[in-house]
């Protein structure tokens, strides 16, 4: 299982990473593997306010629709427009090129409450 | 929760990385390597599917022909060795199931029904067959079924059977030895739009046949395929899936399957279907593509000018066309090629247009 130590995680299988004063968000490699071939990604435009624990976008595999859950509350300052034309990037590089949104957090301390790599690994193992 | 059954191929698929899901009471693989890769393998090479959940029912006896003719919409008074796509309807025309009827002999018919419909179908068949001198045997637990589909399926079959599969016409069948196992039913049928066969195998010889196919397909790039690509392959052909596109609330005329309804004979549901065929249905099952971004899915509402007018029954991303495709019931006046309506995707109307089907056409 590919679960980088330098990322934080949600129980809904998003990852979050600090980049300066922003938080970069995507879905985990484990999630893309479970979903299968990703063919559609829908993300909020810059300026959108998102709220921790609520949906902020959608990914669809050939078979199924999945909501994206925000790890943190804040304002989207950039979303990855490349994914609309190349959704398969999520399968190829979930933790890198397939980042989804960059968020200016309302309360940066929220980041520290997200799951650690170890806790996320335990969660994935428990879900099977 | 009821216990899920496993087919004889379960361990052979588990060791090849199958991801299993519950379907029709069985644990069946939804995918192996990846849905799109499997889909492409069937379109360009050959793929193997475990479809053992399908049910098998035999109707035999002096009035077997009359019984089957009464039960199904299409004409099954065909030569021995021929297969016919049919629907079974209730009196009100609602579809009980769609199925393939194989005529074995003058007095014996073999029906392949949907696994998820088995209990309902067998009950319906037994009830109706009582009106005739005919016996009904549910053999579903005795048979496994393997589909081998794709342009290289015939070549693969030629390596494991002496029967000239390549010369078989569509919708015919024969019983022959396959991979050293005698008495395998080779049917020239499928659910993918590609050429190939469906094999009916008694459980005892099932894994031998499977292993024989896998061995003979090694250098052909034979792909293990799951239910996931079975669904995308069939939808590209606009083949209906019972439970999604067909059910008791829809009839064959609305589903645009009138070609499989023969009014020159008597059958259950005929008066309703005959009247609808004459008058024209008020709703029709059409195929459509999206004019704006979004993937249609089963159950999404179809609107015209802000008003609900229909429902999506099947929708996906087509791996062959690399774009979303869908099918659904819409009012007759919105059913012609080029008609436009909106599919409601997560609360937003997304424009769609009726197109010609099948969505995918095999190159000649």
The DSSP string of A16-69 is: EEEETTEEEEEE-HHHHHHH-SEEEEE-PPTT-EE-TTSEEEEEEESS-EEEEE
In a domain, B183, yes or no: yes
Provide the 3-class DSSP secondary structure of residue B27: strand
**pTM confidence score:** 0.95
Least CA distance to B314: which residue of chain A? A63
Judging contacts by C-beta atoms under 8 Å, the chain A residues touching residue B235 are none
Least CA distance to B320: which residue of chain A? A62
In a domain, B180, yes or no: yes
Domains identified in chain A, total number: 1
Nearest to B238 by CA among B301, B183, B192: B192
In a domain, A128, yes or no: no
pLDDT of B3: 86
Q: Could B317 and A84 be called an inter-chain contact, meaning their C-beta atoms sit closer than 8 Å? A: no
Judging contacts by C-beta atoms under 8 Å, the chain A residues touching residue B297 are 65
The DSSP string of B290-332 is: ESSS----TT-EEEETTEEEEEEEEEEEETTTTEEEEEEEEEG
Q: Are B99 and B88 in contact (CB under 8 A)?
A: yes
Q: Residue B229 belongs to a domain with what CATH number?
A: 3.30.1360.120
Alpha helices (runs of H) in chain A, residue ranges in sequence order: 29-35, 82-85, 89-92, 117-127
Give the ipTM: 0.91
| Spans of chain B below 50 pLDDT | none
pLDDT of B2: 63
Averaged pLDDT, A9-29: 97
- How many helices, marked H, and strands, marked E, lie in chain A? 4, 9
In a domain, A3, yes or no: no
Mutation target among B36, B37, B300 for the A interface, most CBs of A within 10 A: B36
Residue A49: which residues within 8 A CB-CB, separation 6 or more? A74, A75, A76
Judging contacts by C-beta atoms under 8 Å, the chain A residues touching residue B228 are 36, 62-63
Range of the structural domain that residue B201 is part of:
10-54+142-236
Q: How far is B10 from chain A (nearest CA, A)?
A: 19
Judging contacts by C-beta atoms under 8 Å, the chain A residues touching residue B346 are 58
pLDDT of B362: 81
Q: Residue A14 belongs to a domain with what CATH number?
A: 2.40.50.100
In a domain, B109, yes or no: yes
Query: Residues B145-192: pLDDT tens digits?
Result: 999 999 999 999 999 999 999 999 999 999 999 999 999 999 999 999
Q: What is the DSSP letter of B215?
A: H
In a domain, A54, yes or no: yes
Phi-psi label, residue B247: left if phi above 0, alpha if psi -120 to 50, beta otherwise: beta
Q: What is the DSSP letter of B129?
A: H
Range of the structural domain that residue A16 is part of:
8-122
**Is the omega angle on the peptide bond into residue B97 within 30 degrees of 0, that is, cis?**
no
Q: Are residues B86 and B163 in the same domain?
A: no
pLDDT at A128 over 90: no
Q: Are residues B213 and B165 in the same domain?
A: yes
Query: Residues A33-64: pLDDT tens digits?
Result: 999 999 999 999 999 999 999 999 999 999 99
In a domain, B357, yes or no: no
Domain boundary residue among B236, B255, B280? B236
Q: What is the DSSP letter of A36?
A: -
Q: Could A62 and B35 be called an inter-chain contact, meaning their C-beta atoms sit closer than 8 Å? A: yes
């Amino acid at each position: 299982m590919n679960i980088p130590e330098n990322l934080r995680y949600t129980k809904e299988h998003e990852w979050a990473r600090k980049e300066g004063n922003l938080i970069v968000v995507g879905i985990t490699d484990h999630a893309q593997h479970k979903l299968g071939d990703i063919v559609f990604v829908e993300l909020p435009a810059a300026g959108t306010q998102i709220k921790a624990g609520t949906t902020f976008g959608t990914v669809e595999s050939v078979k199924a629709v999945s909501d994206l859950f925000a790890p943190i509350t804040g304002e989207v300052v950039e979303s990855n427009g490349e994914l609309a034309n190349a959704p398969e990037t999520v399968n190829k590089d979930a933790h890198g090129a397939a980042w989804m949104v960059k968020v200016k957090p309302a309360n940066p301390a929220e980041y520290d409450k997200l799951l650690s790599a170890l806790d996320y690994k335990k969660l994935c193992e428990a879900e099977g | 929760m009821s216990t899920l059954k496993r087919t004889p191929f379960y361990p052979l698929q588990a060791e090849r990385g199958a991801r299993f899901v519950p379907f029709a009471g069985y644990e069946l693989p939804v995918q192996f390597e990846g849905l799109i890769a499997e889909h492409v393998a069937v379109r360009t090479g050959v793929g193997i599917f475990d479809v053992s959940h399908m049910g098998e029912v035999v109707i035999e006896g002096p009035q077997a022909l009359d019984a089957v003719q009464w039960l199904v919409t299409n004409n099954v008074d065909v030569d021995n060795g021929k297969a016919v796509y049919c629907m079974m309807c209730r009196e009100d025309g609602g579809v009980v199931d769609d199925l393939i009827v194989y005529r074995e002999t003058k007095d014996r018919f073999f029906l392949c029904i949907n696994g998820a419909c088995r209990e309902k179908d067998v009950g319906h068949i037994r009830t109706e067959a009582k009106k005739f001198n005919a016996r009904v045997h549910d053999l579903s637990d005795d048979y496994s079924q393997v589909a081998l589909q794709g342009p290289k399926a015939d070549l693969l079959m030629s390596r494991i059977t002496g029967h000239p599969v390549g010369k078989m016409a569509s919708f015919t069948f024969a019983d022959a030895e396959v991979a050293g196992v005698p008495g395998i039913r080779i049917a020239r049928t499928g659910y993918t739009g590609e050429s190939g066969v469906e094999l009916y195998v008694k459980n005892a010889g099932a894994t031998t046949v499977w292993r024989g196919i896998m061995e003979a397909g090694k250098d052909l790039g034979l792909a293990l395929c799951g239910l996931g690509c079975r669904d995308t392959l069939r939808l590209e052909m606009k083949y209906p899936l019972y439970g999604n596109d067909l059910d008791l609330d829809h009839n064959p005329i609305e589903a645009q399957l009138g070609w499989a309804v023969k009014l020159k004979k008597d059958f259950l549901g005929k008066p309703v279907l005959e009247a609808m065929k004459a008058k024209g249905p008020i709703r029709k099952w059409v195929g459509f593509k999206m004019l704006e971004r979004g993937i249609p899915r089963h159950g999404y509402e179809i609107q015209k000018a802000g008003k609900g007018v229909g429902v999506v029954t099947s929708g996906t991303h087509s791996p062959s066309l690399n774009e979303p495709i869908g099918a659904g019931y819409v009012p007759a006046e919105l059913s012609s090629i080029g008609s436009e309506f909106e599919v409601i995707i997560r609360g937003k109307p997304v424009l769609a247009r009726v197109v010609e089907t099948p969505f995918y056409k095999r190159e000649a």
